[in-house]
């Protein structure tokens, strides 16, 4: 039996991040379109949002719609503090994350003390928070006052390069931070405790798992990472409005990405974000904006129904079929065309890999994944 090496995934992620830091210089030197940087940034944004959501909801089982509130706090922190108060930009990102974490902890402090606020009641409460914050921003002239906040003239640090280079690197930092935190948590006592809460919270609590403390830590981390990502994303929003920020789109997209990729492993939201955004982007670029949401939605429903364990675990269980599907997707791309960019190549490859993973095969007994058995998780937390 192989000895677990929980440090390996974070170390590999950091090495990849260091290499990708210089990708904007490569794009500039090769004369490639700036679109590659903006596409990569959007993947980073959704990766950070989905990974942060999954850190609490995916691991603990408490279904939350609060992502829109955390994201909105981050966006409006930059708008208010930088535009209205004249703060420097970079420290404001950290403030946005801290304020979003404080919001999450405030919610948890109230909700987690009341046992009846679980399941759909907890989900509805977190959904209501975003609308309450939007209403507060609308009536408060200090925050918004219903007028919106222009962000097109926000001064940015020259050390990070041009705007596309800067937004790429800031997005890379937030995505890597969210993924590394998810990796560390999954392989820690906190992660085992959250999995035990997901499987049976009452049993976990009876056996000595500090459920309240673990849920508070997870929700605080989720709020911080989502708020930090939202603060960075404010630079991509030329004009901040309540309707654009405090809406249902961000939490719905994050939930779809995480469930599609798989909620029991840190890699699930990363893969889900990459697949969903790539498909949506390619359909829009093909002139199918009017029906892209319908097509992507239908594919997502089909994939979620066919792969209840999530795309990542299915691909890991069937590596050969997935690789064959990816190869067929590449070949199909050359036949169907047009292969106008590397992103189109990526789109065909991902589509082929997903369809290959969806092919039904003979049933066999699957090895239980991390977080599956409640007794094993509880034993790790209490005994470890």
Q: Which of 54, 91, 98, 110 is nearest to 265 (CA)?
A: 54
Establish how many alpha carbons lie within 13 A of residue 40's alpha carbon, considering only the half-sphere containing its beta carbon: 23
Res 10: pLDDT:
92
Neighbours of 284 (CB within 10 A): 14
| Phi and psi at residue 127, to the nearest 5° | -65, -40
Locus of tokens 């067929």: 328
| pLDDT for the residue numbered 284 | 81
Q: In total, how many domains does the chain have? A: 2
The per-residue pLDDT for 383 is 54
- Does 237 lie in the same domain as 131? yes
| 285 and 221 inside one domain | no
Residue 377 lies in a domain: no
Note whether residue 384 is domain-resident.
Answer: no
Q: Is residue 353 in some structural domain? A: yes
163-201: per-residue pLDDT in tens?
899 999 999 999 999 999 999 999 999 999 999 999 988
Residues 102 and 213 grouped into a single domain: yes
Q: What is the pLDDT of residue 332?
A: 80
Phi and psi based region of residue 161 (left: phi greater than 0; alpha: psi -120 to 50; beta: remaining): left
What is the average per-residue pLDDT within 234-261? 89
3-state secondary structure of 256: helix
- Predicted pLDDT of residue 340: 62
- Whether 330 maps to a domain, the answer reads yes
pLDDT of residue 192: 92
Q: Are residues 103 and 218 in the same domain?
A: yes
Q: Is position 1 within any domain?
A: yes
Within a domain: residue 383?
no
Same domain, yes or no: 132 and 46: yes
pTM of the model: 0.89
The whole domain housing 89 covers 1-247
Residue 360 DSSP symbol: -
How far apart (Å, rounded) are the C-alpha atoms in residues 265 and 357? 17
In a domain, 39, yes or no: yes
Judged against a pLDDT cut of 90, whether residue 305 lies above it is answered with: no
Alpha-helical (H) ranges within 187-318 are 189-206, 211-233, 242-245, 249-261, 267-285, 289-306, 311-317
Domain boundary among 215, 247, 279: 247
Q: Average pLDDT over the chain, rounded to whole? A: 86
Same domain for 202 and 308, yes or no, is no
Q: Report whether pLDDT(102) > 70.
A: yes
CB atoms within 10 A of CB 319: 10
What's the rounded mean pLDDT across residues 261-288?
89
What's the pLDDT score for residue 368?
46
Contact 349, 380 (CB under 8 A): no
| DSSP symbols for 54-79 | IIIIIHH-----THHHHHHHHHHHHI
Work out the angle at residue 186's Cα, subtended by the Cα atoms of residues 221 and 262, and round it to the nearest 5 degrees. Answer: 95
Tens-digit pLDDT profile for residues 312-347: 999 998 899 999 999 998 888 777 766 567 888 888
Q: How far apart are CA 328 and CA 325, in angstroms?
A: 5
If you average pLDDT over residues 49-65, what whole number do you get? 93
Helix, coil or strand: residue 225: helix
**HSE on the CB side for 310, CA within 13 Å?**
24
Of 193, 228, 247, the last residue of a domain is 247
pLDDT band at 247 (very low <50, low <70, confident <90, very high): confident
Distance between CA atoms of residues 229 and 243, nearest Å: 19
The reply to whether omega before 139 is within 30° of 0 (cis) is no
Is residue 176 located within the same domain as residue 318? Answer: no
Residue with tokens 């599609």: 260
**Is 31 within the bounds of a domain?**
yes
Residues 83, 63 share a domain? yes
Among 152-161, 253-262, 311-320, which is the least confidently predicted range? 152-161
Among 247, 273, 297, residue at a domain's last position:
247
Q: Residue 239: beta bridge partners?
A: 150
CA torsion 224-41-8-186 (nearest 10°) is 40
Under 8 Å between Cβ of 77 and 36: no
CATH of residue 118's domain is 1.10.3470
153 lies in the same domain as 40? yes
Same domain, 70 and 200: yes
Whether residue 158 sits in one domain with residue 127: yes
Q: Do residue 185 and residue 324 come from a single domain? A: no
């Amino acid at each position: 039996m192989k000895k677990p090496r929980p440090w390996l995934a974070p170390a590999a992620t950091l090495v990849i991040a260091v290499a990708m830091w210089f990708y904007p210089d490569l794009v500039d030197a090769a004369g490639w379109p700036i679109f590659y940087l903006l596409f990569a940034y959007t993947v980073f944004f959704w990766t950070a949002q989905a990974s942060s959501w999954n850190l609490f909801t995916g691991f603990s089982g408490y279904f939350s719609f609060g992502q829109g509130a955390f994201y909105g706090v981050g966006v409006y922190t930059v708008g208010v503090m930088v535009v209205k108060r004249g703060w420097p930009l970079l420290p404001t990102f950290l403030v946005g994350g801290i304020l979003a974490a404080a919001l999450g902890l405030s919610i948890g402090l109230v909700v987690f003390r009341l046992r009846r606020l679980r399941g759909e009641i907890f989900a509805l409460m977190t959904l209501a928070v975003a609308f309450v914050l939007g209403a507060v921003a609308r009536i408060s002239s200090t925050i918004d006052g219903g007028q919106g906040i222009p962000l097109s003239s926000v001064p940015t640090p020259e050390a990070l390069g041009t705007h596309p280079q800067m937004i790429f690197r800031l997005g890379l930092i937030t995505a890597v931070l969210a993924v590394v935190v998810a990796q560390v948590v999954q392989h820690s006592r906190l992660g085992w405790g959250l999995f035990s809460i997901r499987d049976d919270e009452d049993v976990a609590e009876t056996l000595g798992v500090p459920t309240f403390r673990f849920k508070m830590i997870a929700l605080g981390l989720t709020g911080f990472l989502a708020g930090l990502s939202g603060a960075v994303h404010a630079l991509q929003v030329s004009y901040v409005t309540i309707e654009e920020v405090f809406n249902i789109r961000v939490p719905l997209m994050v939930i779809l990405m995480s469930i599609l990729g798989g909620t029991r492993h840190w890699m699930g939201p990363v893969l889900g974000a990459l697949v969903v955004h790539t498909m949506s982007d390619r359909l829009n670029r093909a002139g199918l904006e009017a029906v892209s949401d319908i097509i992507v939605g239908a594919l997502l429903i089909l994939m979620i129904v066919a792969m209840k364990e999530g795309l990542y675990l299915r691909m890991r269980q069937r590596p050969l079929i997935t690789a064959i599907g990816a190869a067929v997707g590449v070949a199909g791309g050359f036949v169907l065309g047009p292969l106008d960019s590397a992103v189109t190549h990526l789109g065909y490859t991902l589509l082929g890999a997903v369809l290959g993973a969806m092919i039904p095969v003979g049933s066999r007994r699957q090895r239980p994944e991390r977080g599956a058995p409640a007794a094993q998780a509880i034993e790790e937390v209490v005994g470890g």
